[in-house]
């Protein structure tokens, strides 16, 4: 099946038959002039997906264009999804060994050969608060650009990108640790890496859709209407921060709405952002941020086996109420 980067095949089996919009068809006809000459009906394939009623089937044609910060990797049918790292490189390396990915820890790991699918997916928030932020970010950056991993952009990662760009950013919630460790790099290497990071992180998705659309990884939250969301601001806010009440907790953080029990699928959403003592498990949503940087654990969900693999934190680097912990690891 051929792929067109701008359109996606609909996987919402509960939706009725519909017509692909003329704008989508026009774009499709422009790139593939040998295709159909009228808006194609979209037929439902029972229990799985919609199939395009055309002379050829394309796995990436959608009823309307989606936001460019939603990425699709439908051929990835198995992977390990890893929770918020927050600069806890030692636990990340240990988790890689537990998962059988120790070969990916080598600095000179070669690029994945053609046809090899990414093995690891991160829920974002690689930076801030931890003691080995540069090492953690370097590993994730290297694995993603060499085809071994994927990551979404977390809210802490987004704040760091804005700092890299020279935008006005409040140095809080652990960003100071990232800035301090980043600026400790040798200047010439630091500036070269800054350019590489801006290119890499500046285009990271806010959600990735895997296994034919059955699995969605987002940093904080997802809901069904985001499939059709055209506003980048709303898409970014929901996926990166999740829904909030508009109030603040006594610690000064936004008061969050527990969306996961109310999400009815049919996709499975794996997310981070909200810290839980253990993986937060619902029928269609699983939270896997178990607070390694606060002294909890770093957790991975093995998909599709749904096995949980965790390694305990080697010690808190950051206090729940805010501020650096007395870490001596």
Q: What is the pLDDT of residues 195-245, one digit of tens each?
A: 999 999 999 999 999 999 999 999 999 999 898 887 889 999 999 999 998
Q: Answer yes or no: are the C-beta atoms of 296 and 280 closer than 8 Å.
A: no
Q: What does the alpha-carbon distance between residue 53 and residue 41 come to, in Å, rounded to a whole number?
A: 5
Domains and CATH numbers, the chain: 18-65 (no CATH), 71-312 (3.60.21.10)
Contact residues for 232 (Cβ-Cβ < 8 A; gap 6+): 67, 69
Rounded CA gap, 248 and 96, in Å?
36
Predicted structure pTM score:
0.80
First vs last C-alpha separation in the chain:
50
Q: What is the CA 253 to chain-centroid distance, rounded?
A: 22
Confidence check: pLDDT of 121 > 80: yes
Distance of alpha carbon 115 from alpha carbon 130, whole angstroms = 35
pLDDT in tens, 54-89: 222 223 333 333 568 999 999 999 999 999 999 999
**Diameter of the chain by CA atoms?**
67
Give the pLDDT mean for 272-298: 97
Query: Tokens 């059955």 — which residue?
Result: 214
8 A C-beta contact, residue 243 and residue 261 = no
Pairing relationship of beta strands 297-303 and 215-218 according to DSSP bridges? unpaired
C-alpha separations of 58 from 26, 36, 51, 208 in Å: 15, 12, 9, 19
The phi, psi pair for 238, rounded to 5°, reads -75, -45
The CA-atom distances, in angstroms, between 92 and each of 87, 200, 222, 277 are 9, 21, 25, 18
Helix 155-164 and helix 187-201: axis angle, to 10°?
130
Q: Are strands 215-218 and 207-210 parallel, antiparallel or unpaired?
A: antiparallel
């Amino acid at each position: 099946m051929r792929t067109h980067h701008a359109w996606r095949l609909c996987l919402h089996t509960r939706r009725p038959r519909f017509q692909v919009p003329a704008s989508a068809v026009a774009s499709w006809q422009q790139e593939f002039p040998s295709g159909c000459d009228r808006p194609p009906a979209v037929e439902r394939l029972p229990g799985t997906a919609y199939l395009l009623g055309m002379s050829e089937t394309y796995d990436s044609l959608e009823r309307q264009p989606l936001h460019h910060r939603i990425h699709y990797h439908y051929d990835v049918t198995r992977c390990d999804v890893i929770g918020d790292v927050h600069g806890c490189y030692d636990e990340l390396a240990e988790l890689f060994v537990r998962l059988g990915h120790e070969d990916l820890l080598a600095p000179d790991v070669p690029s994945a050969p053609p046809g090899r699918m990414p093995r690891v997916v991160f829920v974002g928030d690689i930076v801030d608060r931890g003691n080995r932020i540069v090492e953690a970010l370097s590993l994730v950056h290297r694995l993603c650009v060499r085809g071994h991993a994927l990551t979404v952009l977390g809210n802490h990662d987004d704040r760091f990108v804005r700092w890299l760009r020279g935008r006005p950013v409040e140095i809080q919630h652990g960003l100071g640790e990232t800035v301090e460790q980043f600026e400790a790099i040798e200047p010439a290497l630091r500036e070269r890496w800054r350019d590489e990071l801006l290119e890499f992180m500046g285009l990271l998705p806010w959600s990735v859709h895997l296994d034919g659309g059955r699995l969605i990884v987002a940093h904080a939250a997802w809901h069904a209407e985001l499939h059709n969301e055209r506003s980048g601001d709303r898409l970014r806010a929901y996926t990166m921060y999740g829904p909030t009440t508009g109030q603040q907790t006594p610690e000064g953080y936004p008061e969050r709405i527990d969306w996961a029990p109310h999400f009815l699928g049919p996709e499975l959403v794996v997310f981070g952002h909200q810290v839980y003592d253990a993986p937060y498990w619902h029928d269609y949503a699983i939270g896997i941020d178990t607070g390694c940087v606060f002294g909890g654990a770093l957790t991975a969900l093995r998909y599709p086996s749904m096995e949980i693999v965790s390694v305990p934190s080697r010690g808190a680097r950051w206090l729940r109420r805010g501020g650096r912990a007395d870490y001596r690891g």
